[in-house]
Amino acid sequence: MAAPLWTALATTVALTLGVAAPAAASHKESRATDSAAVDAPLGVSLFEPVGPAQVARMAKGGVGYARFPLQWNFVEEKPGVYDFSYYDSFVLAAARARIDVLPVLIGTPSFIPHRDAAYPTAAAHLRSFAAFSRAAVQRYGPGGALWRDHPGQRNPVKTWQIWNEPNLRIYAPAGKPSPTSYRSLLFHGYNAIKAIDPASEIVAAAMAPAAPISDRLFLRQLINSKGVPSHLDSVAVHPYARTPDQSLTILRRFMRDLRSADIEDGGVWVSEIGWSSKGPASAFQTKNPAGQAAALRAVVERFRRRSEIALRGITWFSWRDNKPTITRPPTNDWTPYAGLFTFYGFPKPAWTTFTKLAGGQPGVGPLPKEPYPQLRRWPY
């Protein structure tokens, strides 16, 4: 069975690392202050859009932003025809709740030849990605069509992330990760979005912690490429590790690498971090819900305590458990159990911990059942 894009990604990370693996924020500023680091907002990463009742629960709990895959292949099923209806109700619900959204532009359409979830590289296909990026800003950015239709609910998208973990084979053209080819994708997305909204914040994709090209090497080659620093408003990191202390070590190392490249003034997002509450043995499995809550508290406190690390946001992966049966292979995947809520909507201890750290309230009872378009599948 095909996997949704986010699940396919995290499964690949888990399989790469294995059980023996080591362990919304303001627009770009010249240098974030200590208080900005301490007060880094907490967000959640979604597998798919959710309905207004879940968004309301997020708002009550203090969720600052929701990161979600805005999948090109769902929006542009036919060349040149854009249909954002699958995402509109979620973006509107978030706007009503005053929750920012962080869309990840991702997912190559079926009419463009590609392998797995790889991004395109041909010049014509990169121009198609640029056109999709423009269409997304024209829909959800300042002055976007959605806000013209709903003027009383405006909360335009100001931050966009270009793809995800391009150092993984699943996202790499021909299964061969290449900083040079990702640079081309980044340039096309950046220029297209800035042409519509020059004040927008463009976030480069985070790298997977273990992959054919290591996160450090891929990032180093990327930021040393011609023209890249001028196309980086912000960068992202996924400091997955066995323990929160090891995650902090990864984050501090990441910041040192940025400083050595003289691009430390850009913003930094932790666009994914998390551990599961149960499931198969994994480097990211805490064995029980209490352990997951403890890991969440520890990692957020460590990240916020380091005043020299200026973060745009800390994103917990994920909002809600997923069905393990839709992953590949379910027996080796921790990601279905990384949510703050169970698949059936019951809050875990980690949700209460999250709300305390975010300055919100957990609410009472499970997430309400609500209709929403059926989960789309990644077509491979």
pLDDT at 115: 82
Confidence of residue 117 (pLDDT cuts 50, 70, 90): confident
Beta bridge partners of 235: 268
pLDDT at 325: 58
pLDDT at 34: 36
With the CA atoms of 353, 354, 356 and 359 taken in that order, what torsion angle do they form, in degrees rounded to the nearest 10?
180
Q: Are 276 and 343 in contact (CB under 8 A)?
A: no
Using the structure block, give the residue that is written with the tokens 């050595």: 260
Percent of the chain clearing pLDDT 70 (strictly above): 84
pLDDT at 300: 97
Q: Residue 205 carries which DSSP code?
A: P
Confidence of residue 308 (pLDDT cuts 50, 70, 90): confident
Confidence of residue 82 (pLDDT cuts 50, 70, 90): very high
Helix (H) or strand (E) holding 355: helix 349-358
Confidence of residue 378 (pLDDT cuts 50, 70, 90): very low
User: In the chain, what are the domains?
Assistant: 5-19+42-358 (3.20.20.80)
Q: What is the pTM of this model?
A: 0.88
Q: Are 319 and 298 in contact (CB under 8 A)?
A: no
- DSSP for 63-103 reads --EEEEEEEHHHH-SBTTB---HHHHHHHHHHHHTT-EEEE
pLDDT at 1: 26
Among 34-43, 342-351, 355-364, the range scoring the smallest mean pLDDT is 34-43
- Summarize pLDDT for 163-182 with one digit per residue, the tens: 999 999 999 999 999 999 99
